[in-house]
Amino acid sequence: MKTATSRRNFLKTATAAATALSARSYARVVGANSRIRLAQIGCGSRGIGAHMKGVHPHDRAENVEYVAVSDPWRLAREKAAAQCQEWYGAKVRQCVSYREILEMKDVDAVLIASLDHHHSTHLEAAARAGKHAYVEKPLARNMAELIRCVDAVKAAGIVVQVGTQIRSLPTSTACRELWLSGKLGKPSRIEQCRNGAKPYWYGRDKTDLWAADLDWNEFLMDAPRRPVDPLVYSGWYGYLDYTDGPVANLGCHFTDLYSYITGLGFPQSCMCQGGVFTWKDERNFTSPDHVEALWVYAEDLMVAYSTNFGNSGGNRHRYFCEKGQLILDNWSAPTYTAEGGLKRDGAIRGVNEVKPIETPDHFLDWLRCLRSGKPTRAPIEAGYLHSVTCLMAVESWRTGRRTTYDAKARAIRTV
Q: Are residues 263 and 282 in the same domain?
A: yes
Q: Is 1 helix (H, G, I), strand (E, B) or coil?
A: coil
Say what the pLDDT of residue 287 is. 98
Say what the pLDDT of residue 30 is. 66
Q: Are residues 306 and 371 in the same domain?
A: no
Say what the pLDDT of residue 403 is. 98
In a domain, 384, yes or no: no
Are 76 and 43 spatial neighbours (Cβ–Cβ below 8 Å)? yes
Say what the pLDDT of residue 212 is. 83
Number of neighbouring beta carbons within 10 Å of residue 169: 19
Q: Is 336 helix (H, G, I), strand (E, B) or coil?
A: strand
Distance CA(162)–CA(152), nearest Å, equals 15
Say what the pLDDT of residue 49 is. 97
Say what the pLDDT of residue 204 is. 82
Q: Are residues 370 and 401 in the same domain?
A: no
Distance CA(161)–CA(164), nearest Å, equals 8
Q: Is 284 helix (H, G, I), strand (E, B) or coil?
A: coil
Say what the pLDDT of residue 211 is. 78
How many separate domains does the chain show? 2
Q: Which of 259, 134, 211 is nearest to 220 (CA)?
A: 211
Give, to the nearest 10 degrees, the angle between helix 2-25 and helix 143-156. 50
In a domain, 41, yes or no: yes
pLDDT tens for residues 212-232? 899 999 999 999 999 999 889
Q: Are residues 335 and 371 in the same domain?
A: no
Q: Are residues 104 and 202 in the same domain?
A: no
Q: Are residues 153 and 195 in the same domain?
A: no
> Given a cut of 80, is residue 20 above it in pLDDT?
no
In a domain, 383, yes or no: no
pLDDT tens for residues 67-95? 999 999 999 999 999 999 999 999 999 99
Distance CA(29)–CA(182), nearest Å, equals 37
Are 135 and 162 spatial neighbours (Cβ–Cβ below 8 Å)? yes
Give, to the nearest 10 degrees, the angle between helix 119-128 and helix 143-156. 20
Reported as a pLDDT band with limits 50, 70 and 90, residue 143 is very high
In a domain, 126, yes or no: yes
* Between 6 and 292, residue with greater pLDDT: 292
Say what the pLDDT of residue 11 is. 47
Say what the pLDDT of residue 6 is. 47
Beta strands, E only, 206-286: 269-275
Q: Are residues 223 and 119 in the same domain?
A: no
Cis peptide before 138 (omega within 30 of 0): yes
Q: Are residues 300 and 369 in the same domain?
A: no
**Amino acid, res. 61:** A
> Given a cut of 90, is residue 145 above it in pLDDT?
yes
Distance CA(259)–CA(267), nearest Å, equals 10
What's the chain's average pLDDT?
93
Q: What's the domain range around 250?
A: 168-360+390-414
- Consecutive H or E run containing 38: strand 36-41
Q: Which of 138, 139, 127, 136 is nearest to 163 (CA)?
A: 136
- Consecutive H or E run containing 77: helix 74-88
> Given a cut of 50, is residue 201 above it in pLDDT?
yes
Say what the pLDDT of residue 4 is. 45
> Given a cut of 90, is residue 391 above it in pLDDT?
yes
pLDDT tens for residues 48-58? 999 999 999 99
In a domain, 385, yes or no: no
Distance CA(152)–CA(167), nearest Å, equals 24
Say what the pLDDT of residue 10 is. 45
In a domain, 307, yes or no: yes
Distance CA(177)–CA(171), nearest Å, equals 10
Q: Which of 204, 285, 198, 274 is nearest to 243 (CA)?
A: 285
pLDDT tens for residues 121-141? 999 999 999 999 999 999 999
Are 124 and 148 spatial neighbours (Cβ–Cβ below 8 Å)? yes
Q: Are residues 255 and 280 in the same domain?
A: yes
In a domain, 7, yes or no: yes
335 pairs with which residues across the strands?
327, 353
pLDDT tens for residues 290-335? 999 999 999 999 999 999 999 999 999 999 999 999 999 998 999 9
Q: Are residues 335 and 324 in the same domain?
A: yes
Beta strands, E only, 71-137: 93-95, 109-112, 132-135
Length of the chain: 415
Q: Are residues 369 and 355 in the same domain?
A: no
Say what the pLDDT of residue 33 is. 64
Distances in whole angstroms, Cα of residue 220 to Cα of each of 117, 165, 183, 215, 311: 9, 27, 50, 9, 33
According to DSSP, the β-strands at 93-95 and 64-70 are parallel
In a domain, 17, yes or no: yes
**CATH number, domain with residue 87:** 3.40.50.720
Say what the pLDDT of residue 102 is. 98
Reported as a pLDDT band with limits 50, 70 and 90, residue 244 is very high
The residue-averaged pLDDT of 402-414 equals 98
Reported as a pLDDT band with limits 50, 70 and 90, residue 7 is very low
CA–centroid distance for 18 within its chain: 18
**CATH number, domain with residue 256:** 3.30.360.10
pLDDT tens for residues 249-287? 999 999 999 999 999 999 999 999 999 999 999 999 999
> Given a cut of 70, is residue 153 above it in pLDDT?
yes
Q: Are residues 338 and 209 in the same domain?
A: yes
> Given a cut of 70, is residue 116 above it in pLDDT?
yes
